[in-house]
Chain A
Amino acid sequence: MWSLFHKFGSPPWLYRLSGSILRWLLPITVIALVVGAVWGVLFTPPDFRQGNSYRIIYIHVPAAVVALAGYYVMAIAGAVSLIWRMKMADVAMRACAPIGAALTFVALVTGSIWGKPTWGTWWVWDARITSMLILFFLYLGVIALYEAYENKELAAKACAVLSLVGTVNIPIIYKSVDWWYSLHQPASIKFTGDTTIDPSMLYPLLFMIISFYALFTCALLLNMRAEILQREQRTAWVRRLAGSGERD
């Protein structure tokens, strides 16, 4: 266990491992996203109340679910970076922020587009949407905070603290539709209790959620690889990699 933990702390090992994972995970992810999107948009029945506009669910929900999960990944990486001062955890934390921001942006924009035909408005300041907007700003805050510091060790500490403090927002987002009166519908997929979505619509949705998790993993590894190279640019293995002209 500890030897694996130490291996994860080794930049060249992590760089090579991520390269071999991406070689098969990236094409599978792209294919899965295309299959899931086509399945959801063209092969599912329309919703009895919302008609065809509900088809946005196949990108909106997966983007929102993974944006929330991504924040936990960022916060855990931040905690590991703070406690064990592990460089690669810091790299992972920094790599999560732009992906999380992008996915939160997708959730907000697709939600807004979905809101127009469903609620008759592009935007409403209700609890779920506002807390998602706060999540977006938290991700942007981590990116901006890191860039604001000259001393990158200090920047990593500040970002880790911000990530950890921001986790307070995640349960608020989850429970917002139950705690406050909201235009946003409650969760259709439940771990406890009955799922209120027909299987013909549920399966492509679950498929897309898994595909978005794979997308997050790919983007995280790609970002980490770029970050590792820049941080390790003075090391012999990066020089050898650049000198050999080898590209993964």
Chain B
Amino acid sequence: MYFETLAAALQMDGHGAFVWSAYLITLGVIAFILYAPKRREKRFLRQLEGQIRRSGGQVAGAIKEV
């Protein structure tokens, strides 16, 4: 490791706030772009599952066979 102590790695000779904040923001965005579609998919399937259960296996609307 280039830095000798954890404090040195955090401070980075005065640039730590810039570097770490950039990485934190990127981490947040990456987590969002991976999590958001997964959550959308799960929520949609849960809703559809509820619809199917409520209608006793038959769901209102035309069903296309693929």
Contacts and interface: CB of A to CB of B under 8 A. Distances in A.
Interface of A: 10-12, 26, 33, 37, 41-46, 51-53, 55-56, 59-60, 63, 98-99, 102-103, 105-106, 109-110, 113-114, 116-117, 215, 218-219, 222-223, 225-226, 229-230, 232-239, 241-243, 245, 247
5 contacts: A12-B66, A42-B3, A56-B22, A238-B48, A239-B59
The 4 tightest CB contacts between A and B, nearest first, are: A242-B48, A52-B12, A222-B37, A226-B41
> DSSP class of B's interface residues: helix, strand, loop or mixed?
helix
Given A52-B12, A59-B26, A105-B29, A242 B34 contact: no
A117 B37 contact: no
A42 B22 contact: no
Interface string B27-66: 0011011101110111011001100100001010111111
Which size bracket describes the interface of B in this complex?
Answer: 35 or more
Nearest to A229: B44
Given A55-B19, A116-B18, A245-B49, A42 B63 contact: no
Nearest to A237: B66
A236 B63 contact: yes
B22 A52 contact: no
Nearest to A246: B45
Contacts of B29: 102-103, 105-106
Given A33-B30, A53-B15, A241-B45, A234 B37 contact: no
B44 A56 contact: no
B5 to A, nearest CB: 12
Contact of A113 (B9, B18, B37, B42): B18
